[in-house]
Structure 1
Amino acid sequence: MKITSAQPDDVATLLAFREEAAAWLTRIGTDQWQRPYPAERLLATIRSGTVFMVRDGHTTAATITLTPEAEGGLWTEQELGEPSMFINKLTVARTHAGQNLGGRLLDWAGDRAYRAGAKWLRLDAWTTNDALQRYYLQQGFEYVRTVMEGEAVNGGPRVSGWLAQRRTAPTEHGFDDLTPAPSNLPVGG
């Protein structure tokens, strides 16, 4: 399997991928990802070079967004002062579930973040999805805190505020990595 940077013409594939994941999440009893994701927002993240896809032949097997920018209102100023990268939207196709693709993709993200100079790989997970939170803990992440509705700096509902992190490290993830080398993080964060 190979990992590539997503391209603008991947928008429809990634939106369909998210809809598949939302339907599966509903079947297992969570309200995560029930609102449609705006195509223009996805296109902007693709153009910023932060969306990556695992391809198994011509099939999209998984996707992840890895960015040096944190979502506002979640992390403290001290935490934001530490060199970090943030993962979002980790999704594995149901056809590829149970093959540890998510774990390997987290290892890939930690390796890429390490090569960019990050100390931490951080994430925010859905606050009501206990199974997802347990999954991240099993993948070596440490719970930091939960930011609840109304506590976020920007206000508004906070549905994805369970925060966790793990140290970055070089890792053997087993993907054929066809992505460009990561840019170094700015000094001081």
Structure 2
Amino acid sequence: MRITPAIPSDLSRLLAFRTEAASWLSELGSDQWSRPYPADKLLATIEAGTVFMVRDGERTAGTITLTPDAEDGLWSVEELSEPSMFVNKLTVAREYAGNNLGGRLLDWAGDRAYQSSAKWLRLDAWTTNTALQRYYLDQDFQHVRTVLEGSAVNGGPRVSGWLAQRPARPADHGLTDETPRPQHIRG
């Protein structure tokens, strides 16, 4: 399998991934990703070069967004002073579930963060999805805190504020990396 930057023509597949994942999560009793993600926002992240696709021949097996930009209101000023990369929208196609593709993508992201001179690989997860939180803990992330207030969307409570991090580190993720060399980030 190879990892490549997403391109605008991947937009429909990424939106379908999100719908597939939301349906699966709903079956598990979670409301995570129940609101449709705006296509224009997703296209902007693709065009910014922060969305990556795992391709297995002609099939898309997974996706991850990796950015040096934190979501507003989650991380403290002190934490933001440390060079970090942030994982968003990690999704694996259901047909590839159970093969540690998500773990390999996190390892790829941690390796890319390390190459970018980041100290941390950070993420936020759905506050009510304890299975997802446990998954990240099993992937060597450490829980930092849970932020419940300050959502920028509709003035309601924050739904994705379970914060975790692990050190950026080199990794043998087993993916053929066809992405451009990452740029160094500033802390």
Q: TM-score, normalised by structure 1?
A: 0.96
Among all aligned residue pairs of Structure 1 and Structure 2, give the percentage whose two residues are the same amino acid: 69
| 1:10 corresponding residue in structure 2 | 10
By how many angstroms is 1:157 displaced? Answer: 2.7
Whole-angstrom CA distance in 2 between matches of 1:39 and 1:20? 15
Give the drift of 1:80: 0.1
> By how many angstroms is 1:37 displaced?
0.6
| Structure-1 separation of matches of 2:105 and 2:156 | 31
Letter in 1 for 2:180: P
SS in 1 for 2:31: coil
Equivalent position amino acid for 1:158 in 2: R
Q: In the alignment, what sits opposite 1:57?
A: 57
152 and 40 in structure 1: CA distance in 2 versus 1, 3 angstrom threshold: closer
Could you list the structure 1 runs, at least 4 aligned residues long, displaced by more than 6 angstroms after superposition: none
Q: 1:85 deviation in Å?
A: 0.4
How far is 1:15 from its partner?
A: 0.3
Matched, 1:19 2:7: no
Please state how far the C-alpha of 1:152 moved relative to its aligned partner.
Answer: 5.1
Aligned to 2:146: 146
Deviation by residue 1:36-64 (Cα, 9 ceiling, x = unmatched)? 01000000000000000001111110100
What aligned pairs does 1:42-53 form with structure 2 within 5 A after superposition? 42-53=42-53
> What is the 5 A alignment of 1:35-46?
35-46=35-46
What is the rounded CA distance, in whole Å, between the counterparts of 2:82 and 2:134 in structure 1? 25
How far apart are the structure 2 equivalents of 1:156 and 1:129? Answer: 18
Matched, 1:91 2:125: no
User: Which amino acid in 1 is paired with 2:69?
Assistant: E
CA distance in 2, matches of 1:69, 1:156: 23
| Aligned residue in 1 for 2:32 | 32
SS in 2 for 1:158: coil
Corresponding residue SS for 2:179: coil
CA contact (8 A) 1:18 1:91 kept: yes
- Correspondence list, 1:73-88, <5 A: 73-88=73-88
SS of the equivalent of 1:109 reads helix
Report deviation, 1:156.
3.9
SS at match of 1:10: helix
Whole-angstrom CA distance in 2 between matches of 1:27 and 1:151: 28
1:133-163 per-position Cα deviation (integer Å, ceiling 9, x unaligned): 0000000000000001x34588543000000
SS in 1 for 2:104: helix
Give the unaligned 5+ runs of structure 2.
none
Aligned partner of 1:41: which letter? K
- Residues 95-130 of structure 1: CA distance to partner in whole angstroms, max 9, x if unpaired? 000000000000000000000010000000000000
Other structure's SS at 1:34 match: coil
Check whether the contact 1:74–1:153 (CA below 8 A) recurs between aligned residues. no
Match of 1:53, SS state, is strand
Amino acid at match of 1:168: A
Corresponding residue number in structure 2 for 1:127: 127
Figure out how many residues of one structure are paired with residues of the other and give that number. Answer: 186
Q: Give 1:160's aligned residue.
A: 160
